[in-house]
Structure 1
Amino acid sequence: LTSLIEENPTAAQKFTTSLSKVYRYVLEQKSKELVTVDEELNFARTYMSLLKTRFEDSIIFEIPDKASNPESRVVPLSLQLLLENAVKHNMVTSSKPLHIKIYEDKGHLVVMNNLQLKQIVKKSSGVGLENIKQRYSLLSDRKVIINQRAKDFAVAIPMLTKQVSIMRTTQQSKERLNDDYVRARKRVEELKGFYYSLISYVFVIPFLIFIWYTYSRYTIQWFWFPMFGWGISLVVQAYRVFVDDGAFGAGWEKRKIEEYMRKEDDTKRWN
């Protein structure tokens, strides 16, 4: 970057602007399950500008202006990963430029590049592609398609367009989610309260016994009263938290919260 600033300040400024956009997009989208195809295409153009700054005319891109269906969605950062893979595994030189084309085909967004594999390169682990495939498997029954031929390599990722629920209407689902979340949060607070009481009991009762033994061990053993009274209260509290209302085990509250606060329910799939 320093040499680029010295040689071409305008290009350096363009590079830093694109780089900041890339970082911002990654931070904004990394926690999302899906983004619109148009968002991903815009990000791909920004990422391509960084690659063009590095490789100049040794890399050639083709990319559509926008998606045919503005409601279609893909897994975020999938295009960036596929572009990165194409550059990583292929020669990119002025004599052998790398051609990368992004286009739609039968409900898929395809990233295709001419195949000119590097002669010395570590064997691909396939972790990146496997990550995309796993993320799609959680959302849809549609598959990521990988096609390698003699002269080109292509990956087609499904463009998801419609969410189908097999449970109930959206409004009913929202109302139930809110109610169950409130109940689950209440149970979590009860569980925390029980453990706080138990920890206090473990430390306070021995301290009371120590006080009795040190200052009044020849008097009535008064420490039994708080020990039994508090102990009975703990038993009742434990029953309410672990047994009552059909909840068995301390992990119930956590599982319920995760179940109802998951952005996409397991019973919903994308087409």
Structure 2
Amino acid sequence: MKRKSIIILLWVTLGTTLFFFLFFNNEKTFRNFGITFLICTMYSFILGFGNMIINDFLNKKFPWSETTRVRAFLSIVSIIIGNFILVYFCNYMNYVVIQKSATIEEFFSAKYGFMNWFTINIALLISAFLHAKSFMEELKKTSRKEVVEQKLIAKSANAQFESLKNQLDPHFLFNSLNVLSSLIDENPRQAQKFTASMSKIYRYVLEQKDKELVTVEDELEFAKTYCELLKTRFEDSVDFVFDVKKEDYRRFVVPLSLQLLLENCIKHNFATSSKPLIIRIFSENDTLCIENNLQVREQIKESSGIGLANIVQRYSLLTKRNVFIEKSEDYFKVKLPVLSVKPNVVSTPVEDKDKAYERARKRVREMKSFYGNLISYCIIIPFLMIINLITNPDNIWFVFPMLGWGIGLAAHGMSAFAIGKRWEEKKIREILEKENKQ
């Protein structure tokens, strides 16, 4: 048992000792105080320690965060059975062994039945409060753990995304300079034209490098400009065909994906006037396809694989939809998912964060209100029981406020913990995930 738990039980013992000694003891002597203290110590430590063992065992075998429903059911059953046994044991030790005010037969008769039932009810109220407290502590730990994990995931994803985007500048610049170097020897005039166009394209690269997604229309405009540069170098050896549906123009793709794939087409295939390389960019079933006839050139140097791998990784950080690659003897095709909405996986907008914070705050207020209500119930109902039994034991009226308030408390608990509303949240998440996949 932890030191903190022992201190709490000692304070409970002292409080109950003073209560029973002052209000239920006719002879105010040190001997009676000592006996009362020992009896209260027995009740406090046996009931407290017993409930702690049950709670710790359930926490290990059935944590609240993993098996909430099973744990709730087992907590209720264990509270009832455990406290029934513990209370009967304590009462037996008190009345039969210590005070010797009853025989074994009398203790199990109707005479002491009401006293046992009354003590069990008080024990159940206190035990319910302790289990609820345990649930709150587990909830806080789980929430903190989830927050830390989500922050680490977000930071990791953000760092990874930035790293992937930073590959694009040197990669594009290196390939463009290679093209320019070839043109300077072959056609200096075209080299000048290429340099002017390259500056225009590089401006687009700089503008889009901080964006997670761009519209298909913007990406196509950029791709067409880039294709003009390639035509400048390869002339009739390369031909480009654009056949993208107009309805796809306002949808989204990863920026610079077309440019990287066009580079791959040129890099991995030979192109001549007699055997031109034909590159098609078209729409197909919610994807943007880049297809070329396969004319594989012999690679002197092994490819770095930056282009296609970069696109695949960036898509994986933004959506669950995959980039598909098809290869046959005649053609090579890459299918890029076209997204209807902008998923925001790496960072969360400030407005969404504020809304989430407000929802969390509201939930905490509701839970705090529920536990305040529960504590009041655990204090006031036993107090009403005692008043009822002292003033008018023949008329048991405390049952009515106990049941009425108890039903209200149960309803409050269901509202605070969103019991019955989880299916709504689950359905909302399913619909949102389905929309993000489109």
Cα deviation, residue 31, structure 1: 1.6
Summarize the Cα distance change of 1:175–1:142 in structure 2 as closer, same or farther, 3 Å threshold: same
In structure 1, the residue matched to 2:286 is: 107
AA at the equivalent of 1:36? T
Which structure: greater strand fraction? Answer: 1
Q: What corresponds to 1:173 in structure 2?
A: 352
**Is the 8 Å Cα contact of residues 41 and 66 (structure 1) preserved in structure 2?**
no
Aligned-pair RMSD on alpha carbons? Answer: 3.2
TM-score by length of 2: 0.37
Instruction: Give me the whole-angstrom Cα distance separating, in 1, the residues matched to 2:245 and 2:185.
Output: 33
The amino acid across from 1:87 in the alignment is: I
CA distance in 2 between counterparts of 1:178 and 1:77 reads 35
Q: What does residue range 131-150 of structure 1 map to in structure 2 within 5 Å? A: 131-150=310-329
Structure 1: which 5+ runs fail to align? 180-267
- What is aligned with 2:225? 46
Q: Match of 1:68, SS? A: helix
Query: SS of the residue aligned with 1:88?
Result: helix
Decide which of 20, 28, 36 is 2:199's aligned counterpart.
20
SS at match of 1:138: helix
Cα separation, 2, equivalents of 1:178 and 1:13: 56
What does residue 117 of structure 1 align with? Answer: 296
Cα separation, partners in 2 of 1:164 and 1:20, compared to 1, 3 Å: closer
Which amino acid in the other structure matches residue 101 of structure 1? Answer: R
Once the 2 structures are TM-superposed, how far is the Cα of residue 68 of structure 1 from its aligned partner? 2.4
Q: Give the number of aligned pairs.
A: 179
Measure how far apart 1:66 and its partner are: 6.4
In the alignment, the residues of structure 2 paired with residue 121 and residue 5 of structure 1 have an alpha-carbon distance, to the nearest angstrom, of 22
**Deviations 1:2-21, CA, capped at 9 Å, x for gaps:** 97699674x45542332111
Q: TM-score of the superposition, structure 1-length normalised?
A: 0.58
- Shift of residue 71 of structure 1? 2.3
Q: Does 1:95 align with 2:274?
A: yes
Name which one, 1 or 2, has greater alpha-carbon Rg. 2
Change (3 A) 1:6 1:64: same
Q: Distance in 2 between matches of 1:51 and 1:36?
A: 23
Question: Structure 1's 37 and 81: CA in aligned 2 closer, same or farther, altered over 3 A?
Answer: same
AA paired with 2:329? A
Q: Could you tell me which residue of structure 2 aligns to residue 86 of structure 1?
A: 265
* Counterpart residue type for residue 75 of structure 1: V
Distance 1:119 1:37, change over 3 A: same
Are the counterparts in 2 of residues 164 and 270 from structure 1 also a CA contact under 8 Å? no
Deviations 1:178-214 (A, max 9, x none): 99xxxxxxxxxxxxxxxxxxxxxxxxxxxxxxxxxxx
Provide the secondary structure at the position in 2 that maps to 1:147.
strand
1:151 aligns with one of 321, 327, 330: 330
Deviation per CA, 1:103-127: give whole Å up to 9, x if none: 0000000000010111344343433
Q: Which has the higher contact order (CA 8 A, sep 6+)?
A: 1
Q: Decide whether the 8 Å contact of 1:163 with 1:270 is kept in 2.
A: no
* Deviation digits for residues 125-177 of structure 1 (CA, Å, limit 9, x no counterpart): 43321211111111111100000001100000000112579xxxx89516358
- Kept in 1, the 8 Å contact 2:268–2:297? The answer is yes
